[in-house]
Amino acid sequence: MSAKQQQIKRIGVLTSGGDAPGMNAGIRAVVRASVYYKMTPLGIRHGYDGFINNEIHKMDAGSVKHIIHQGGTILKSARSMEFKTDKGMQKAWKNVQKHNLDAMVVIGGDGTFKGAMEFGKKFDFPIVGIPGTIDNDIYGTDFTVGFDTAVNTVVEAVDKIRDTATSHNRLFFVEVMGRDAGFIAMYSGIGAGAEEILIPEKDRGIEQLFESLERTSKRRKSSRLVVVAEGDKNGNVYDLEEQVKERFGDRYETKVTILGHVQRGGRPSCTDRVLASRLGVAAVEALKDGKRGVMVGVRNRKVEFTDLEQATKRNPEMDKELMRVANIISI
Ligand SMILES: Nc1ncnc2c1ncn2[C@@H]1O[C@H](COP(=O)(O)OP(=O)(O)O)[C@@H](O)[C@H]1O
Ligand SMILES: O=P(O)(O)OC[C@H]1O[C@](O)(COP(=O)(O)O)[C@@H](O)[C@@H]1O
Ligand SMILES: [Mg+2]
């Protein structure tokens, strides 16, 4: 073990960006693993805002009891404009010194990792990232913490919409989250049996939708569900509804549902709890072993490390096989 590795005694942990179910399981694992390895865990509240404003407190194994099943994040989260400035980062660095922090674990999405990478380089400070976002838009891990719970929430909601859509022979546009990525739409669309799935990763979305509506308007299907990722390039769900009305007139009766933040809340699924627990332990062990500037993820069921730089620069590819499956089963 090198001298640098032995120095890690006090580890900060924060959650940042959009909260995601399973973040609490991640915090719990980071805290418990730190205690297990005789280090002191410190919780940083309100993401990078709390890092700047000194909202930092010691934690212990007991401070994370009874949280594994709770959605949201007990440390709270924030989107911090100030952390994007040199002044903000300098203030946060003062707090690192004040609390003798040797390293930090950040749980969040691509933005959180960009901030971590910059801060880590600027002050030569060891940081490890855990992917926590419902969007699943991080390169270097098969799944992010929160994605599984979110898609299950969406499927449950879309199943309910299906009941009323079928009863009235209606066409529903359901908008799901995913700022720039279609993973939530693709998985929940397949899982809920949507007739069409519109995602930013696919260009032909609207034409394909028109073609399939043309085909099925003759068949009088009892209902149609179109799941649309919020980041889809063909416009928002209301624009889409308008375009369909213009083209098909009263051949389709249309409705729009925007699921919104209901997708971000709720009890984390077992899959998310296990993923977050594995990644929390792996993050602490990585820091203990001298790793820094990396994200811990799981690929092909194994824990893997990816440079934060890569994790933020590269976009995970939408699985072509999933698109093909969606196409085949929605005829
Ligand atoms: N280029 C950057 N430099 C410094 N901090 C950043 C940068 N990009 C994002 N951040 C910080 O990370 C926070 C979370 O990022 P955001 O994109 O909102 O969510 P997520 O991490 O879930 O993708 C931002 O509010 C900001 O404080
Ligand atoms: O809650 P906010 O700040 O309006 O953000 C909404 C965005 O956050 C998300 O729910 C999660 O994104 P991040 O994890 O990148 O923060 C996106 O799907 C959505 O576009
Ligand atoms: Mg993001």
Residues 116 and 19 in one domain: yes
**Which atom, in ligand 1's list, is nearest to the CA of 82?**
27
CB contact at 8 A, 34 and 162: no
pLDDT (0 to 100) of residue 3: 42
Share of the chain above pLDDT 90, in %: 85
Residues 7 and 121 in one domain: yes
Residues 11 and 141 in one domain: yes
Q: Domain limits at 85?
A: 3-146+268-313
Residues 278 and 193 in one domain: no
Residues 152 and 249 in one domain: yes
For the chain, the domain total comes to 2
- Rounded mean pLDDT of 132-154? 98
Residues 101 and 241 in one domain: no
Residue 331 lies in a domain: no
Residues 30 and 139 in one domain: yes
Only one residue has tokens 């624009």, namely 239
**Which atom, in ligand 2's list, is nearest to the CA of 178?**
18
Q: Whose CA is nearest to atom 11 of ligand 2?
A: 18
Residues 21 and 139 in one domain: yes
Q: Kindly report the CATH number assigned to the domain that includes residue 196.
A: 3.40.50.460
Residue 318 lies in a domain: no
What is the chain's alpha carbon radius of gyration, rounded to the nearest angstrom? 22
6 is an annotated ligand-binding site residue: no
pLDDT at 5 over 70: no
Q: Residue 310 C-alpha to ligand 3 middle, in angstroms?
A: 15
Residues 141 and 274 in one domain: yes
How far apart (Å, rounded) are the C-alpha atoms in residues 329 and 318?
18
Structure token digits, residue 52: 């700047």
Share of the chain above pLDDT 70, in %: 97
How far apart (Å, rounded) are the C-alpha atoms in residues 133 and 190?
20
Q: Residue 243 C-alpha to ligand 3 middle, in angstroms?
A: 30
Q: Residue 105 C-alpha to ligand 3 middle, in angstroms?
A: 17
Of 264, 281, 304, which residue is a domain's last? 264
pLDDT at 113 over 60: yes
Residue 135 lies in a domain: yes
pLDDT at 103 over 50: yes
Residues 211 and 290 in one domain: no
pLDDT (0 to 100) of residue 6: 53
Only one residue has tokens 């332990």, namely 281
HSE-CB at 36 with a 13 A cutoff on CA atoms is 12
175: confidence class by pLDDT, cuts 50, 70, 90 = very high
pLDDT at 208 over 50: yes
Residues 99 and 155 in one domain: no
- Predicted model pTM: 0.96
Residues 71 and 104 in one domain: yes
Active site residues: 135
**Which atom, in ligand 2's list, is nearest to the CA of 20?**
14
Residue 123 lies in a domain: yes
Q: What is the value of ipTM here, to two decimals?
A: 0.99
Of 264, 279, 301, which residue is a domain's last? 264
- Rounded mean pLDDT of 223-239? 92
Distance of CA 210 to the CA centre of its chain: 31
Pocket, ligand 2, Cβ cutoff 6 A: 17-18, 79, 109, 133-135, 177-179, 230, 264
Structure token digits, residue 93: 């660095």
